[in-house]
Chains A and B, each alone.
Chain A
Amino acid sequence: MSLLASAVLAAPAPTPDIPAPTIEYGLLSPMLLVFGIAVVGVLVEAFVPRAHRAAVQMPITLLGLAGAFILTIVVATQDITPASGQGWGKLAAMGSIGIDRPTLFIQGTILILALVSTFMIAERRTDEGSFTAQAAATPGSAAEREGLLAGATHTEVYPLVMFAVGGMLLFPASGDLITMFVALEVLSLPLYLLCGLARRRRLLSQEAAVKYFLLGAFSSGFFLFGAALLYGYAGSVQLGAIARAVRLGPGGQYATEVYGASGQFAQVTVGSNALLMLGVALLAVGLLFKLGAVPFQSWKPDVYQGAPTPITALMASCTLVAAFGALFRVFYVAFDGLTWEWRPMMWLIAILTMVVGAVVAVTQTDVKRLLAYSSIAHAGFILTGMIAADAAGLSSALFYLAAYGFTTIGAFAIVTLVRDAGGEAGHLSRWAGLGKRSPVIAGAFAFFLLAFAGIPLTSGFIGKFAVFQAAIAGGATPLVVVGVLSSAVAAFFYVRIIVLMFFSDPAPDGPAVVVPSVFTSAAVALGVAATLVLGVLPQSVLDLADQAASSLFVR
């Protein structure tokens, strides 16, 4: 205390008065609501009796997500002009969070997909839900059995999901790399936990959680390292400032306002290109890991297979959207002037992702692993749109993400329904003849598979067409050729499942299709409806994505 006092005395000169940061609560309200509900969820866990927790958590979670979606629309309808005077949007919270049209589209997509995923999480009729009774109990132990018999459930799932969704909303909206890193951790940590909560095959689930956590931490390290190098280059972690530094080039100088000392400016000298390039590369590694691009995909099959299927659905849809959103923001805003430098690297990644995803999927025998590789391949297709680095590329990728999210949730929802004595019937051979036993469910799954394959009259076709068109317009024709060939390979294993379901004789002890409650039915029905509507009448959503992308990200 005295030390501090003496220091103050020694330097009586202007004490920087810390200004209260301005927070645009209105613009941030969707995220604030989600985080608020998450905190309320924690309080519910603390104060509501165990028997009533599920009945409280589930509605507030659903209402919170729906409310956040409505707030997103409200924000989107407002008239917000950025400081530059062009486009639409604003850097909120002292520049830490960018609210603009693409971000709102991404956030809206995440919220809707999270809502549908939550339907699956709320399902109780299939095997008492997908989550373990007592996560802390050793698999196979007496404690586990007690928990099962007592009918215990982990209602903590709901606040965890809300925290993860909150992180996902913040991730693509981050205006600087520190906020982005925090968002990355906020979205990742709950997911690590959720991955380990599967009710059946718990060892596999816990293994998946540990793998995801270790590799996630590893990739976070890359991200942080990259952020540090970029700070060294640009003297700022603000995405806009990095873009300015890139324009100035090494040795360029610019003045930046000292935080908390209005009117005082510090001179910043832009660092060497080595810092920049290494920073770009390491940051890219961190982001590409989250969306599972090759060669950072290795976690995806193991985690998707081990995680409780509703959480897999959440990751395959919402996390993918959030990760792409962040990738878009970083590369379109901060590295805007470096397009020619990062494009060859992205070409390489996109080609590897599409080819490896499609080829390795051919020999998969587990339906969740197959969908995981399919998700890897789809990430590659979206990357081809991203490489165009213009409004058309962004718009097509946004549409693709929304369309793919609905389809993939629907597909995973069906995976939860096809069960035998050991839980979900994961092995593909068990799905033989399903079309004869349960034509509706098998038909819906076949429809989703056709959408994954990109057959016309499904959203998958429109999405692929849009990204490939944008890529060709952006001069990436060879990439599109690779993409089309990968689609052809991918079509093989999608159609193989359809053949298996409809043209094979069912096994005598084959799995049964559980009649789900309204929740999972709604997830499947919404998936089918969205896949069909976006495939037949896509124009309104395409227009929306166009409109969102046309103003690009705010700087």
Chain B
Amino acid sequence: MTGTLTSAAAPLAGSFGNLAGAGLAETTAATGAVHGNAWLMVAFPLLGAAVLLLGGRRTSGWGHYLAVAMSLASFVWGVLSFFQLLGFAPEERSRDLHIFSWIPVGSLRIDFGLLLDPLSLTFVLLITGVGSLIHIYSIGYMAHDPERRRFFAYLNLFVAAMLLLVLANNYALLYVGWEGVGLASYLLIGFWQYKNSAAVAAKKAFIVNRVGDFGLSVGIMIMFATFGTVAFTPIFEHAAEGAQGWVTTIALLLLLGACGKSAQLPLQSWLLDAMEGPTPVSALIHAATMVTAGVYLITRSGPIFDVAPEAQLVVTIVGAATLLFGAIIGCAKDDIKKALAGSTMSQIGYMHLAAGLGPIGYAAAIAHLLTHGFFKAGLFLGAGSVMHGMNDQVDMRKYGALRKAMPITFATFGLGYLAIIGFPGLAGWFTKDAIIEAAFAKGGTTGLVLGGAALLGAGLTAFYMSRVMFMTFFGTKRWDDGAHPHESPASMTGPMVLLAIGSVFGGAFLVLGHRFADFLAPVVGEQEAHAFNPLAPASVATFVLMVLGVSIAWLRYGRERATVPRTAPKGSFVTVAARKDLYGDAINEGLLMRPGQWLARVSVFVDNRGIDGIVRSLAAAVGGSSGRLRRVQTGYVRSYALSMFFGAAIVVAALLVVRL
């Protein structure tokens, strides 16, 4: 079926290619030992998870090494696949691997197939690379947890699901991975489920994500109804043909899914609570990889969004709003992980903003996603290292002057900090400036508003990240009694160092020479080459705002005379609101939870009184009539014969009535 669609659409594909500005890669069958067995990348961690979960306590002694090995195996396979892909000409870098026919039902034919192209393999490298580092870090971090085996099993499950998500060649299979990462996220947020807060946070994350997942699944169904397939290639070829209203609907539903997974407004509320999970989880799932799945979904679905400009506008609005929303929350949080979580929301807002800008922004969004993966994972691991040394204290008001006690953590955290605030030359500077420039380049009022928001966000980022930095590593000691901060073991600092290196050089590597944009071009379309210009007005403005943000933070938290009280002061109404996540939970409760509870109570009442009543009286009626009918069975053969006689009369009458 796909075959006929493709051949019928051949002329159209050509015109579509022009529409996007450049010839996209034609998808061809995957060949060779590496690409031909690409499914192994998913299978390795899945096997690890299965062994660890099914093997039980027997595997506790060595299970974490197996998990690390499986993650590394996927990484190695990903690197090999990457290089094999580089061996092809750019327009041939889209490789389809058919594994088996998965759902052959009527006209719905879904293959279990993988798509190997620059976009998916970029994600594979990020997921398995950062994932492996965090696996290694967790060996040290979770060393004293009795349930370490289960933790590693879930981590492996997450890696497998996330790889399936990015490697799938159709939306149905993507959805499997999408739900898989949701499950792993739920299991890991609630990993310490004996803590009520963790259990509640896990449920919250799951339920909020259901809303997004529901949107995605309905979007996939409408895709099938509109295009007759759910595979990427034919849908993207025919996207321009679909009815405008339906395509926009699909795009908006995809956005709803993306909002859920990526904690964008209005489905942002779960991410801050998700910090209840172990810190490596926050680093891997809730900073570097899973929460960026929404950006992947929008970028992957670029051909759909490109023909639905209204949906694109909504994406940019969501992104801009969230980046400010997260930044404001980040300014007020005293919990180091929650401050970082607000930052994550904000940074992913940048990515959505870029992805919503269309072909000009896709490469910028993914580039920022990659560098963010490095520095945010590094920051979280640094935070974990600090907590590790401070008896799991998360309140930054109880930190201070840790730079001497934890030099490696300080150095790596500091580099990640410089990267995220956009210090010139570091990773964030290259990729964030690209987004801000692209936003202004949209032109008109829209461009001005979006660019302004991004610019303002950059200033806020500098402020709240400096606040975190200064409160933790500078100033005076505000430690709890009995705190003996110490540097973490090598298994933890090693990954942090590697991530710090990525935070420093990743941006320059990707952006300079247009390297990454060219690499992605076969997937997202060519954009007009414009050299990176550090002296463009937007860049200069960004730099000024960054300096301003850092300075304010220095005055309030960093300099010798600044005092940071151990208990939080009352604060202005903005601070209070930001501490309460800008009332996101209150809005959800008022608008959704209370009406929902009321509805549930009404349903219970109707069920107990109405429906059960009907059922009970029906049962009583059947039982009663059974007892009455039973009495006809007297046991006397004469009455049986009489009943037969009357029965015969009824039969005769029934036949004669028809003839009348």
Q: Are B625 and A299 in contact (CB under 8 A)?
A: no
Q: Are A489 and B641 in contact (CB under 8 A)?
A: no
B293 to chain A, nearest CB (A): 37
Interface residues of A in 339-368 (CB under 8 A from B): 340-342, 344-345, 348-349, 356, 359-364
B644's nearest neighbour on chain A, judged by CB, is A296
Contacts of B627 in A (CB 8 A): 363
Q: Are A340 and B658 in contact (CB under 8 A)?
A: yes
Q: Check: A222 CB closer than 8 A to any chain B CB.
A: yes
Q: Check: B622 CB closer than 8 A to any chain A CB.
A: yes
Contacts of A282 in B (CB 8 A): 648, 652
Given A215-B644, A285-B644, A277-B657 contact (CB < 8 Å): no
Q: Check: B643 CB closer than 8 A to any chain A CB.
A: yes
Q: Check: B626 CB closer than 8 A to any chain A CB.
A: yes
Contacts of B630 in A (CB 8 A): 360, 363-364
Interface residues of B in 622-660 (CB under 8 A from A): 622-623, 625-627, 629-630, 632-633, 635, 637, 639-641, 643-644, 646-648, 650-652, 654-659
A352 to chain B, nearest CB (A): 9
Q: Are A289 and B622 in contact (CB under 8 A)?
A: no
Q: Are A295 and B644 in contact (CB under 8 A)?
A: yes
* B633 interface neighbour in A218, A349, A360, Cβ under 8 Å: A360
* A214 interface neighbour in B623, B641, B647, B659, Cβ under 8 Å: B641
Given A345-B651, A345-B654, A362-B622 contact (CB < 8 Å): yes
Q: Are B623 and A218 in contact (CB under 8 A)?
A: no
Q: Are A349 and B651 in contact (CB under 8 A)?
A: yes
Q: Check: A219 CB closer than 8 A to any chain B CB.
A: yes
Q: Are A359 and B659 in contact (CB under 8 A)?
A: no
Contacts of B622 in A (CB 8 A): 359, 362, 489, 492
Q: Are B629 and A295 in contact (CB under 8 A)?
A: no
B616 to chain A, nearest CB (A): 13
Q: Are B650 and A344 in contact (CB under 8 A)?
A: no
Q: Are A278 and B652 in contact (CB under 8 A)?
A: yes
Q: Are B643 and A295 in contact (CB under 8 A)?
A: yes
Q: Which of A210, A211, A362 has its CB near the most chain B CB atoms (within 10 A)?
A: A362
Q: Check: A179 CB closer than 8 A to any chain B CB.
A: no
Number of residues of chain B lying within 8 A (CB) of chain A: 29
* B640 interface neighbour in A299, A344, A348, Cβ under 8 Å: A299
Q: How far is the CA of A301 from the CA of B629 in the complex (A)?
A: 13
A282 to chain B, nearest CB (A): 7
Q: Check: A318 CB closer than 8 A to any chain B CB.
A: no
Interface string of A489-505 (1 = CB under 8 A from B): 10010000000000000
Q: Are A344 and B657 in contact (CB under 8 A)?
A: yes
Q: Check: A551 CB closer than 8 A to any chain B CB.
A: no
Q: Are A214 and B637 in contact (CB under 8 A)?
A: yes
Given A280-B655, A301-B633, A341-B659, A215-B626 contact (CB < 8 Å): no
Q: How far is the CA of A252 from the CA of B319 in the complex (A)?
A: 87
Q: Are B651 and A341 in contact (CB under 8 A)?
A: no
Q: Which of A222, A302, A340, A345 has its CB near the most chain B CB atoms (within 10 A)?
A: A345
B641's nearest neighbour on chain A, judged by CB, is A218
Q: Check: A284 CB closer than 8 A to any chain B CB.
A: yes
Q: Are B659 and A219 in contact (CB under 8 A)?
A: no
Q: How far is the CA of A492 from the CA of B623 in the complex (A)?
A: 11
A212's nearest neighbour on chain B, judged by CB, is B637
* A210 interface neighbour in B625, B637, B657, Cβ under 8 Å: B637
Interface residues of A in 278-314 (CB under 8 A from B): 278, 280-282, 284-285, 288-289, 294-296, 298-299, 301-302
Contacts of A294 in B (CB 8 A): 647
A364's nearest neighbour on chain B, judged by CB, is B630
A94 to chain B, nearest CB (A): 31
Q: Are A342 and B625 in contact (CB under 8 A)?
A: no
Q: Check: A273 CB closer than 8 A to any chain B CB.
A: yes
Given A302-B635, A344-B657, A219-B644 contact (CB < 8 Å): yes
Contacts of A363 in B (CB 8 A): 623, 626-627, 630
Interface residues of B in 163-198 (CB under 8 A from A): none
B120 to chain A, nearest CB (A): 40
Q: How far is the CA of A281 from the CA of B637 in the complex (A)?
A: 23
Q: How far is the CA of A386 from the CA of B629 in the complex (A)?
A: 26
B274 to chain A, nearest CB (A): 40
Q: Are A281 and B648 in contact (CB under 8 A)?
A: yes
Q: Are A362 and B626 in contact (CB under 8 A)?
A: yes
Given A345-B655, A360-B630, A295-B650 contact (CB < 8 Å): yes
Contacts of A295 in B (CB 8 A): 643-644, 646-647, 650
Q: Are A215 and B637 in contact (CB under 8 A)?
A: yes
Interface residues of A in 347-396 (CB under 8 A from B): 348-349, 356, 359-364
Q: How far is the CA of A340 from the CA of B623 in the complex (A)?
A: 35
Contacts of B647 in A (CB 8 A): 285, 294-296
A476 to chain B, nearest CB (A): 16
Q: Are B651 and A298 in contact (CB under 8 A)?
A: no
Contacts of B643 in A (CB 8 A): 295, 298
A7 to chain B, nearest CB (A): 43
A277's nearest neighbour on chain B, judged by CB, is B655
Q: How far is the CA of A340 from the CA of B658 in the complex (A)?
A: 8
Given A302-B635, A360-B629, A489-B622, A285-B655 contact (CB < 8 Å): no
Given A210-B637, A211-B637, A211-B640, A344-B654 contact (CB < 8 Å): yes
Contacts of B651 in A (CB 8 A): 281, 284-285, 288, 345, 349
Contacts of A348 in B (CB 8 A): 650, 654
B619's nearest neighbour on chain A, judged by CB, is A492
Contacts of A222 in B (CB 8 A): 648
Given A285-B648, A285-B651, A344-B658 contact (CB < 8 Å): yes
B642 to chain A, nearest CB (A): 10
B654's nearest neighbour on chain A, judged by CB, is A345
Q: Are B629 and A359 in contact (CB under 8 A)?
A: yes
Contacts of B629 in A (CB 8 A): 356, 359-360
B620 to chain A, nearest CB (A): 11
Q: How far is the CA of A281 from the CA of B630 in the complex (A)?
A: 27
B645's nearest neighbour on chain A, judged by CB, is A218
* A298 interface neighbour in B640, B650, B657, Cβ under 8 Å: B640
A543 to chain B, nearest CB (A): 21
B275 to chain A, nearest CB (A): 45
* A341 interface neighbour in B625, B646, B650, B658, Cβ under 8 Å: B658
A151 to chain B, nearest CB (A): 34
Q: How far is the CA of A288 from the CA of B651 in the complex (A)?
A: 11
Q: How far is the CA of A273 from the CA of B656 in the complex (A)?
A: 10
Contacts of B646 in A (CB 8 A): 295
Contacts of A362 in B (CB 8 A): 622-623, 626
Q: Are B644 and A341 in contact (CB under 8 A)?
A: no
B647's nearest neighbour on chain A, judged by CB, is A295
Q: How far is the CA of A361 from the CA of B630 in the complex (A)?
A: 9
Q: How far is the CA of A449 from the CA of B648 in the complex (A)?
A: 32
A154 to chain B, nearest CB (A): 25
B652's nearest neighbour on chain A, judged by CB, is A281
A283's nearest neighbour on chain B, judged by CB, is B651
Q: How far is the CA of A295 from the CA of B626 in the complex (A)?
A: 15
Q: How far is the CA of A359 from the CA of B639 in the complex (A)?
A: 20
Q: How far is the CA of A164 from the CA of B635 in the complex (A)?
A: 26
Q: Are B640 and A273 in contact (CB under 8 A)?
A: no
A147 to chain B, nearest CB (A): 28
Q: How far is the CA of A242 from the CA of B270 in the complex (A)?
A: 79
Contacts of A214 in B (CB 8 A): 637, 641
Given A285-B647, A360-B626, A341-B655 contact (CB < 8 Å): yes
Q: Are A281 and B655 in contact (CB under 8 A)?
A: yes
Q: How far is the CA of A273 from the CA of B659 in the complex (A)?
A: 9
Apart from the given pairs A215-B640, A301-B633, A492-B622, 13 other A-B contacts in the complex at a CB distance below 8 Å = A210-B637, A218-B641, A278-B652, A281-B654, A281-B655, A282-B648, A285-B647, A344-B654, A348-B650, A359-B626, A360-B633, A362-B623, A363-B623
Instruction: Show 7 residue pairs from A and B whose CB-CB distance is below 8 angstroms, ordered by the A residue.
Output: A281-B656, A295-B644, A296-B644, A345-B654, A348-B650, A349-B651, A364-B630
Chain B residues within CB distance 8 Å of chain A: 619, 622-623, 625-627, 629-630, 632-633, 635, 637, 639-641, 643-644, 646-648, 650-652, 654-659
Name the 3 nearest CB pairs between A and B, nearest first.
Answer: A295-B647, A345-B654, A298-B640
